[in-house]
Amino acid sequence: MTAVRLQGAVKRYGRLAAVDGVDLALAHGERLALLGHNGAGKTTMMKIILGLVPLSAGTVTVLGGRPGRWEAKAATGFLPENVAFHEAMTGWETLRFYARLKRRPAAECGRLLERVGLGAAARRRVGTYSKGMRQRLGLAQALLGEPRLMLLDEPTSGLDPELRLAFYEIVRELKERGAAVLLSSHLLTELEERTDRIAILDRGRLVAEGTLDDLGRQAGLPLRFRVRVAPGRSGELAERLGWPPQRLREETGTSVLDCPPADKMPLLRRLAALDDLVTDIDMQPPRLNDVYAHFTGANGQ
């Protein structure tokens, strides 16, 4: 079953199309990374899904119906980029307020505060919290009610590395429970191994969508081989491979070759035949940073 489906979605502000003809679906049990520059339309799309912003054209379905209805609100968690809570309230009072809005029991608040590492600070005023603690409180309110749909906008902002790992463990648990997760972040290296599919927006348009492998193939990006050779013999590699010198460079004792995907197996066979010269081979497919730069023009091209 599809948790979210946008078809021909358009949102205009005057002449500006913040979202421009987007077709996109998010399944239950799927983590979808929504990427794009500032102003690309990511936050606007989340607001459309939440029912906070109406479409100018097209359709959107959330958890089987229109966005913004009670059933969808009760089953959706949202963590905005910048959380804002009343500073005079304690962490527990803040979470209890949101629990009442979602008609959730008070016992759930204590459990969630412990889950995000705020159990010991639950009775402290939010005004004494650090940015990272406020972000964790925001995550706790988003988790109220065991949501079937989770929208996360720059969720690890202000978290240290240990807490970021804990956050992504929660995202993994949500996926395993069958929740649909839409995750927006500029920290691409964090997302690479923690999402199932990627959608890239550029000036309101969906310019790419698929798995990382799919997008690497669509972009025609090269594979990168890092080859170690016997000491003192690095100069032999290009000549014996018959490899164009301009496509080979040296990096701290390693020869780096960029290879078109179609040439992967032939190159591997040729390298394996040089077992008297080659001591180690590491193959690296295109990374998320490479794919993102290709589809958004962030590489300056």
Tell me the pLDDT tens digit for each residue of 78-126.
Answer: 999 888 999 999 999 999 999 999 999 999 999 999 999 999 999 999 9
Instruction: Name the CATH architecture for the domain at 222-285.
Output: 2-Layer Sandwich (3.30)
pLDDT for 186 equals: 87
8 Å CB contact between 223 and 261 = yes
Q: Which of 270, 250, 247 is nearest to 259 (CA)?
A: 247
- What average pLDDT does this structure show over 228-237? 84
Q: Which of 57, 60, 49, 50 is nearest to 11 (CA)?
A: 57
Q: CA-to-CA distance for 227 and 83, rounded, in angstroms?
A: 47
Domain boundaries, the chain: 2-216, 222-285
pLDDT for 85 equals: 94
Alpha-helix runs per DSSP H in 57-160: 70-74, 91-101, 107-115, 131-142
pLDDT for 81 equals: 85
Q: Which pLDDT band, with edges at 50, 70 and 90, does 298 fall under?
A: low
Superfamily classification of domain 2-216 = P-loop containing nucleotide triphosphate hydrolases (3.40.50.300)
pLDDT for 300 equals: 41
Provide the b/e sequence for 109-145 (b: ≥16 CB within 10 Å). Answer: beebbebbbbeebbeebbeebeebbbbbbbbbbbbbb
pLDDT for 160 equals: 82
Reduced to 3 states (helix: H, G, I; strand: E, B; else coil), residue 40 is coil
Asked if 2-216 and 222-285 have one fold, the answer is: no
End-to-end CA distance of the chain: 40
- Report residue 7 as tokens: 């078809």
* Burial of 70 from C-beta contacts in 10 A (0-12 / 13-18 / 19+): exposed
In the predicted structure, residue 193 carries a pLDDT above the cut 50:
yes
